[in-house]
Amino acid sequence: MQPLTLTTLLLPLLLPHLTLATVPTTPRFDLTKPSYDLFRHKTLHDDTVQQSFTFDNTNRRLFVAQRRNGADSSLGNLCITQLDFGGSQLGYMHLTGFGHGVAFGAQPSGSSTYLWTEVDANSNGYGTRLARFKFTSGTSLSASSAGVQKFKPVAAATEFTCSVDPVNNRLVVRYHLPGSGKHIAVYTLSAATAGDFSSPLVDFKIPTITTLGGAFQGYTAYGRYLYLLWGDSYDVTGGTVNSQVATVDLNTGLLVQGPTLTKAGETLSFREAEGMAIYKTEGGQTRLFLGFASGIAGDRRSNLFYKNATIA
């Protein structure tokens, strides 16, 4: 538990949009420190750019989401490829009518992995609910399949995506509130799995963060901190790096570091920032992963990097 200080007592008065946080302090990644390669130039099952990725930290699995070949992005049709940590393909699933895939999460259940994604894509291809379903390689699901559990964590919100903090077993939900913008709510994975979204650990409007203008490309959380990613491909920027990362304190809803320019994979062709995730190695090292798409249209590749230096 956090000690009750004057600040924690006053915060709800100063920031009335904030549900008082109950997220214990954890180390924070230092965004100014270098990134290391996990892999580069790996193919996914389909040919399009990756959108995001996630780890089942217990069964040590990696999943990458992309738009399905030949499907207009407004349809929300996704392909999820399972890769090993060297980037070789192990399997895939096809999802019809789910969403854009800016983020998703994995939840271990015994030796199975359940995925948490957006679902019920609207006419722009963005999910209007969250879904939870078992990853079963070689199968396809539609938004109305019996194996898909669906949730609407915030009644007034119109679009949802999510990420999982696999170390602390939390579901991090980014939602759009009409007339207000993008918010973050964090739930324990056990409550979310039970369909109980009544007691978020935190729930706040994402602060205005002034970036170089890159598109929003992903987010994740580890313990007390939320990490955000922006950036455009070299095709869009004319070869300039505009990928940036930033850290928000879940306990205050305020920006604590960044946006910081990241040059991870600077020499990649195309290089579009695509996704963030957390993974803790068997050796106990926690990593903040950043993803980038590379390559040419019709043969896009997956590239994953990580930061591991923390600020106490």
Ligand X SMILES: *[C@@H]1O[C@H](CO)[C@@H](O)[C@H](O)[C@H]1NC(C)=O
Q: Name the residues that contact ligand X, by CB under 6 A.
A: 36, 285, 308-309
Q: How near is the Cβ of 254 to ligand X at its closest, in Å? A: 26
Q: How near is the Cβ of 67 to ligand X at its closest, in Å? A: 31
Q: How near is the Cβ of 84 to ligand X at its closest, in Å? A: 17
Q: Of 238 and 283, which CB lies nearer to ligand X in the complex structure? A: 283
Rounded-to-10 torsion of CA 164, 133, 274, 160: -70
Kind and range of the H or E element at 133?
strand 127-134
66 contact partners, CB below 8 Å, separation of at least 6: 44, 46, 48, 49, 50, 51, 78, 79, 81, 101, 300
The verdict on whether omega for the bond into residue 16 sits within 30 degrees of 0, i.e. cis, is no
Q: Of 180 and 285, which CB lies nearer to ligand X in the complex structure? A: 285
234 three-state secondary structure: helix
Closest CA to 107 of 61, 72, 76: 61
CA 149 to chain centre: 20
- Residues linked to residue 161 through DSSP beta bridges, in sequence order: 174
Q: Of 90 and 309, which CB lies nearer to ligand X in the complex structure? A: 309
Q: Of 25 and 36, which CB lies nearer to ligand X in the complex structure? A: 36
Q: Of 199 and 285, which CB lies nearer to ligand X in the complex structure? A: 285
Q: How near is the Cβ of 285 to ligand X at its closest, in Å? A: 5
Q: How near is the Cβ of 267 to ligand X at its closest, in Å? A: 18
Q: How near is the Cβ of 256 to ligand X at its closest, in Å? A: 19
Closest CA to 198 of 129, 152, 253: 152
Which residue of this chain has its Cβ atom nearest to ligand X in the complex? 308
Kind and range of the H or E element at 7?
helix 6-14
Q: Of 87 and 295, which CB lies nearer to ligand X in the complex structure? A: 87
